[in-house]
Structure 1
Amino acid sequence: MRLSRFLVIAFVMLLGSSTSALARDQFRVCWSNDAGALPWGYAAQQKIVAKWARKYRISIDLVRVDDATDAVKQYTAGQFDGCTMNNLQALSLPAAAGIDTTALLINNFSAGNDGILLRGKNLRAQDLKGKEVHLAKNSVAHYLLVRALESVQLSEDDVSVTPTAEADLLAAYGAGDIAAVAAWNPTLAQLKAAGDSTLVFSSHRIPGEIVQLLAVNTDTLRANPALGRALTGAWFETMQRMRATDDKGAATLSAIAKGAGIELEDYEAQRRKNRSFYSARSAVTFAESPGLPAAMERMSAFAFSHGMLGKATSAQSIGISFANGVVIGSPANIKLRFDSAFMQVAADGRL
């Protein structure tokens, strides 16, 4: 009995020392040039992040990484404590690599920012059959193509997918060398302007499936809830500034566009194609909706079928948890968590 009690005490002490080892006051978070992530640049430049970090007696170094996928890979490699990413990236990069990751903030979902173009007029998704579709392989554009094909009872076997770097799409499409592309804004808008084409499918048709997040290492977040509180507070203060209808709101949007090196008109066009959560309460409502687990179940199936889940033996190998105890995939191997707790604290005014 004494030995058993000793082992329990030793385990608790070990657990406590492990948690303490993770506890710290300096953090690094990266953001990329996706339209939904651009407000982070403004929040850093205007010292909003620094203000909230000071409140919780920590420091947060917010770093811009231009390539979104590279940013997530650096987070996965442990170079950052958190990073902006979409839900497919969160699943297929850190979660698939065994890095337990929490979606701290749900920023928005794509409602037209991703689309598929076919060269020609008055075309439909059915006209994709037999076409060679150029896209960034294993990206949300690839996922969108699969969803477009499913919507008209087609599959990837009915098209030819040609992996093409986003930077190469404009030149190839503008020269008339390719007939079909799947892309996201601002590239999508530029492609549409460059040639005679029809938007045959967009993320407007699958609302709530392509989601922009700020994700944080789960162990780091558990050991340092101040990081979650500071980032949540900074984000929703920025959202409050953006949604203002006066001159201050306009100035905020102009500053975000300028900081990202794009024209305000282009930024506004992208913003209109996203459904942003400007209030914490609306973000919580989305996070706790049954549509999110359903979307992630579809995304898991896509990721597994395209070899994006590492050593997973099925689409259910990686567990994903949601609000109210909902889990899809393996409950014993949860590596991606959609946790509304910090957003709920913000909604309740308790930050």
Structure 2
Amino acid sequence: MKRILRAAALFAGLTAAALAGGLPGSAQAAPKKNFKLAYTVYIGFMPFAYLKQSGIMKKWADKYGIDVEIIQANDYVGSVNQFIAGEIDAVGVASMDGLTMPAAGGVDTSVFLITDYSNGNDIVLSKTAKSVKDFAGQDVYLLQYSVSHYLLNRALEKEGVDPASVKTVNISDSEVSAAFVSQPDMKHAVSWKPLTEDMLKVKGTTKLFDSSQIPGEIMDVFIGKTDVLKDNPDFARAVTGAWYEALGILKEGGAKAEEMRAVMTSAMGTDAGGLQSQLDTTHFFYTPAEAYSFLTSAENAKIWNSIRTFCFQQGLFGQGATSVDSIGIEVADGTVLGDKANIKFRINATFAKQAADGKL
């Protein structure tokens, strides 16, 4: 997955939101029966490949008398812009991207399903440094404004290093691994699995920090427009029910789990070892009760405060944002971070709670 927050993508999202009538004052979506859900290739979303192939999604959609089309998108930013424009009803994103693309563009957006958080998949690495403290005054290569950028800032903050003292050099996710391997003068970088697997093989390279040291902060979620979910809660219920049925299979093991792993492996273009490596450093919420507990915890509000602070500091709230409070974020326990009169991002744990209570 291109876990990315580029300015160009943000402005494209703003334009699409305006064209789609997604800005404040738009009419609520009418109830409907046909829905589209999109995801891109990333370990946290790959159970959807099995949901589609196994018929589990169809079973749950049929239960609610609706149709849910699952689409594997090739372009991450493109899929988010399709969501903003109303061409798809839900999309899988790194949580930060949901805030800085649709929400910052004026689209009232809700998280209705959390799939996982990175628990070591995202890595800060170096050929020469012994600590991120050594990065002061140095170039660090990463995809700017992405979760890699966020991870670096959090690593520096934890070591008491001013992020402003480090120069970030933008490099695409498609280039970072090969460049790190082939260019001796490229000393420090931040990326994620599977890209980091070859990078860590470079002589002298060490892992200095990873996402397991900030548990829960790099989340993967599915978002929908708030009005669409309000008018069509059965869509979210069907997706949530299907998701936890699939995760139950993966957790239980056995023949069905092996079948699911094979589908995910094929869809990712990897092998069994590559899949396992990514599963090992991904914290899936295997039960809805666990997801609900996480989403409604006081710690979750602290995480979102950290995320929004980074996003504002990087200018990702757009030119009109005058403070970190410009965009309101309603977390699952009802707390609002920022402007209560301009809530554009909501963490909705309703469907996790219904699943946990056996009420789907």
**Length-normalised TM-score, structure 2:** 0.89
Matched, 1:201 2:246: no
- Looking at structure 2, the residues matched to 272 and 25 of structure 1 have their Cα atoms a distance apart, in angstroms, of 38
Contact 2:58 2:67 in 1 (8 A): yes
Look up the equivalent residue of 1:219 and give its one-letter code.
D
Counterpart of 2:181 (choices 174, 182, 205) is 174
Q: For residue 65 of structure 1, what is the aligned residue in structure 2?
A: 73
Look up the equivalent residue of 2:285 and give its one-letter code.
F
Contact 1:173 1:195 in 2 (8 A): no
Give 3-state SS (helix, strand or coil) of 2:279's partner: helix
Counterpart of 1:273 (choices 265, 278, 281) is 281
Which moved further from structure 2: 242-251 or 328-337? 242-251
Q: For residue 343 of structure 1, what is the aligned residue in structure 2?
A: 352
Q: For residue 231 of structure 1, what is the aligned residue in structure 2?
A: 239
1:20 Cα deviation after fit = 7.8
Look up the equivalent residue of 1:220 and give its one-letter code.
V
Structure 1 residues 114 and 258, CA gap change in structure 2 (3 angstroms) = same
Contact 1:112 1:202 in 2 (8 A): yes
Counterpart of 1:186 (choices 185, 189, 194) is 194
- Greater share of residues in helix: 1
- Looking at structure 2, the residues matched to 350 and 294 of structure 1 have their Cα atoms a distance apart, in angstroms, of 29
Give 3-state SS (helix, strand or coil) of 1:181's partner: strand
In percent, how many aligned pairs have the same letter?
32
- Looking at structure 2, the residues matched to 182 and 281 of structure 1 have their Cα atoms a distance apart, in angstroms, of 33
- Looking at structure 1, the residues matched to 108 and 27 of structure 2 have their Cα atoms a distance apart, in angstroms, of 15
Look up the equivalent residue of 2:133 and give its one-letter code.
Q
- CA displacement 1:40-80 (0-9 Å, x = unmatched): 11111111111111111111111111333332232223221
Give 3-state SS (helix, strand or coil) of 1:239's partner: helix
Contact 2:125 2:188 in 1 (8 A): yes
1:302 Cα deviation after fit = 0.6
- Looking at structure 1, the residues matched to 255 and 29 of structure 2 have their Cα atoms a distance apart, in angstroms, of 47
Cα RMSD after superposing both structures? 1.6
Look up the equivalent residue of 1:153 and give its one-letter code.
G
- CA displacement 1:194-245 (0-9 Å, x = unmatched): 4430111111110011111011111111111110111011110111111013
Counterpart of 2:142 (choices 126, 135, 153) is 135
Give 3-state SS (helix, strand or coil) of 1:193's partner: coil
Look up the equivalent residue of 1:157 and give its one-letter code.
A
1:250 Cα deviation after fit = 2.5
Give 3-state SS (helix, strand or coil) of 1:324's partner: coil
1:21 Cα deviation after fit = 5.2
1:1-351 correspondence to structure 2 within 5 Å? 22-120=30-128, 123-175=130-182, 176-310=184-318, 311-351=320-360
Structure 1 residues 223 and 133, CA gap change in structure 2 (3 angstroms) = same
Structure 1 residues 195 and 53, CA gap change in structure 2 (3 angstroms) = farther
- Looking at structure 2, the residues matched to 78 and 279 of structure 1 have their Cα atoms a distance apart, in angstroms, of 30
The unaligned stretches of length 5 or more in structure 1 are 1-17
Structure 1 residues 194 and 167, CA gap change in structure 2 (3 angstroms) = farther
Structure 1 residues 21 and 323, CA gap change in structure 2 (3 angstroms) = closer
1:345 Cα deviation after fit = 0.6
- Looking at structure 2, the residues matched to 332 and 154 of structure 1 have their Cα atoms a distance apart, in angstroms, of 35
Which moved further from structure 2: 58-67 or 79-88? 58-67
1:19 Cα deviation after fit = 7.5
Give 3-state SS (helix, strand or coil) of 1:23's partner: coil
- Looking at structure 1, the residues matched to 110 and 180 of structure 2 have their Cα atoms a distance apart, in angstroms, of 38
Contact 1:125 1:200 in 2 (8 A): yes
- Looking at structure 2, the residues matched to 182 and 346 of structure 1 have their Cα atoms a distance apart, in angstroms, of 37
1:130 Cα deviation after fit = 2.1
Contact 2:29 2:228 in 1 (8 A): no
1:193 Cα deviation after fit = 2.4
- Looking at structure 2, the residues matched to 262 and 67 of structure 1 have their Cα atoms a distance apart, in angstroms, of 19
Look up the equivalent residue of 2:82 and give its one-letter code.
Q
- CA displacement 1:19-48 (0-9 Å, x = unmatched): 785211111111011210111111111111
Give 3-state SS (helix, strand or coil) of 2:200's partner: helix
1:260 Cα deviation after fit = 2.4
Look up the equivalent residue of 1:350 and give its one-letter code.
K
- Looking at structure 1, the residues matched to 114 and 204 of structure 2 have their Cα atoms a distance apart, in angstroms, of 36
Q: For residue 6 of structure 1, what is the aligned residue in structure 2?
A: none
